[in-house]
Amino acid sequence: MSNAETTSDDLPAYQVRISQRAKRMQLKISPLGEVEVVLPKRVSPKHVASFVTQHQTWIQQTQKKMAALYPPEELLPGTLNFAATQQQWQLEYLEGIRPRVAEIEGTLKVYSQDDEAARKALQRWLNRRADEILVPWLREVSDEIGLTFQRAVIRAQKSRWGSCSSSGTISLNRALLFMPPQSVRYLFIHELCHTREMNHSPRYWALVERYMPNYLQHEQVLNKGIRSVPRWALTI
Ligand SMILES: [Zn+2]
What mean pLDDT is predicted for residues 213-230?
91
Q: Measured in angstroms, how far is the CA atom of residue 189 from the centroid of ligand 1? A: 10
User: Letter for the amino acid at 195?
Assistant: T
Q: 5-14, 125-134, 138-147: which range is least confident on average?
A: 5-14
Among 25, 49, 69, the domain boundary falls at 69
Residue 113 lies in a domain: yes
Distance 17 CA to ligand 1 centre (A): 16
Distance from residue 163's CA to the centre of ligand 1 (Å):
7
Give me ligand 1 centre to Cα 50, in Å: 28
In a domain, 157, yes or no: yes
- State the CB neighbour count (10 A cutoff) for residue 189: 24
Give pLDDT, residue 7: 37
Among 81, 97, 77, 101, which Cα is nearest to 89's?
81
- In this prediction, residue 8 carries a pLDDT of 42
The answer for residues whose C-beta is within 8 angstroms of residue 235's C-beta and 6 or more apart is: 32, 123, 156, 158
Would you say residue 4 lies in a domain? no
- For ligand 1, the distance from its centroid to the CA atom of residue 140, given in whole angstroms, is 20
Domain with 27 in it: 14-69
Q: Is residue 208 part of a domain?
A: yes
> Residue 74: pLDDT above 90?
no
Q: What is the CATH number of the domain that holds 144?
A: 3.30.2010.10
Least confident of 68-82, 96-110, 150-164, 214-228: 68-82
Which pTM does this prediction carry? 0.72
Residue 106 included in any domain: yes
Do both 115 and 196 map to the same domain?
A: yes
**Going by DSSP bridges, is the β-strand pair 87-95/107-112 parallel, antiparallel, or unpaired?**
parallel
Cα–Cα distance measured from residue 19 to residue 40, given in angstroms and rounded to the nearest whole number: 5
Shared domain check, 62 and 144:
no
Q: How far is the CA of 104 from the centre of ligand 1 (A)?
A: 38
Report d(CA 211, CA 192) in Å as an integer.
10
Separation of 93 CA from ligand 1 center, angstroms?
A: 39
Residue 85 has pLDDT above 90, yes or no: yes
Q: What total of structural domains would you count in the chain?
A: 2
Domain identity same for 19 and 135: no
Predicted pLDDT of residue 69: 72
Same domain? 116 vs 222 = yes
Distance from Cα 201 to the centre of ligand 1, integer Å: 10
Does residue 118 sit within a domain?
A: yes
